[in-house]
Amino acid sequence: MNLLLKDRRYLVTAASKGLGFSVAKALVAEGADVTICSRDESALAQAVKTLGSRGRYVVADLTRPDDIVHLMSDIRKQWGGLDGVFVNAGGPPPGPFVSFSDNDWQRSFNLTVMSAVRLTREALPLLKKSDAPSILYSTSISVKQPIENLLLSNALRPAVVGMMRTLSRELATDGIRVNAVCPGWIRTDRVRQLLSRTPERESEILSSIPLGRMGNPEEFGAVCAFLLSPLASYVHGALLLVDGGLYQGMM
Ligand SMILES: NC(=O)c1ccc[n+]([C@@H]2O[C@H](COP(=O)([O-])OP(=O)(O)OC[C@H]3O[C@@H](n4cnc5c(N)ncnc54)[C@H](OP(=O)(O)O)[C@@H]3O)[C@@H](O)[C@H]2O)c1
């Protein structure tokens, strides 16, 4: 299947590794040009080496409004416009309710919600120059059911879905598609780190996934490349689980 991505231009955030990198790789494999960002320049340079000549990077900390403005102005200078954005950021810290101060809540809100707000705001003028623009928000299965010990993710990510669903009406007149993906358990460094604290949880998690295994990043990247592509032109306002069947609710 041809995703019609050749020579289109995408921004994939928080993408030196993990889910973001898998999306960048999938887009590049289909002939798209991709800008990735994250905080560590040497990790970004290494990632772009793997992506090849269609990859480029900008160093940006998504908790800093100025970095997001700089990221988009770099893209404007380089490309003049954008066909799509994969909105992704690092994960909030794990822990139970009693372990978090007001400051922890504010920091996680800034990372999880405000990064998505600011990326959307700054990307809109660039997306309006495309004939097939789309935004894909990466959230989590935690927007459908809470994950143990990930209170901040459980509490804050639904705000991004609320924004996406509202934008699906507001941005439709500009032809900008918006959707969200909800990864379940995809084996990345973050998941390895989370489970290294409680290794006994892994077998419990695996037994709760109907497919009996965690996803690999390539499986996630392929779904996201499709949703961002012009081939998904009638998918708008959708929330798609990529979870091996983990979520068991009817809706
Ligand atoms: N993997 C899963 O199964 C899963 C499931 C549900 C939700 N999620 C969520 O998906 C997101 C990505 O997870 P992952 O598994 O890909 O994690 P990962 O493997 O740890 O990769 C995280 C990426 O985000 C970048 N990053 C972190 N903080 C950043 C910031 N402030 N500004 C810019 N870039 C930043 C990291 O680079 P630097 O540290 O160098 O900046 C890295 O490139 C997280 O929010 C996570 O909670 C993951």
Write down the pLDDT at residue 200.
Answer: 87
CB of 215 closer than 6 angstroms to any ligand 1 atom: no
User: For residue 197, is pLDDT > 90?
Assistant: no
Tell me if 64 CB under 6 Å of ligand 1: no
Q: Which atom of ligand 1 is nearest to the CA of 92?
A: 47
What pLDDT is recorded for position 19? 98
Ligand 1 pocket, 118 CB below 6 A? no
CB of 88 sitting under 6 A from ligand 1 = yes
Confidence of residue 198 (pLDDT cuts 50, 70, 90): confident
For domain 9-242, give the CATH superfamily: NAD(P)-binding Rossmann-like Domain (3.40.50.720)
The pLDDT tens digits of the residues spanning 51-104 come to 999 999 999 999 999 999 999 999 999 999 999 999 999 999 999 999 999 999
Asked if pLDDT for residue 107 goes beyond 90, the answer is yes
In the predicted structure, residue 1 carries a pLDDT above the cut 90: no
What pLDDT was estimated at residue 130? Answer: 98
pLDDT (mean) for 31-51: 98
Q: What percent of the chain has pLDDT over 70?
A: 100
Give the model confidence (pLDDT) of 13-39 as tens digits: 999 999 999 999 999 999 999 999 999
Mutating to test ligand 1, I would choose from 12, 19, 149, 201 the residue with most ligand atoms within 8 A of its C-beta, which is 19
Bridge partners of 208, per DSSP, are none
- By C-alpha distance, which of 154, 116, 135, 117 is closest to 238? 135
State in Å: Cα 98 to ligand 1 middle.
24
Q: Kindly report, residue by residue over 130-176, the tens digit of the pLDDT.
A: 999 999 999 999 999 999 999 999 999 999 999 999 999 999 999 99
- Rounded to the nearest angstrom, the distance between the alpha carbon of 173 and the centre of ligand 1 is 32
- Cβ-proximal residues to 147 (8 Å cutoff; 6+ apart), any chain: 140, 141, 153, 154
Evaluate if residue 199 carries a pLDDT over 90: no
What is the pLDDT averaged over residues 97-118? 98
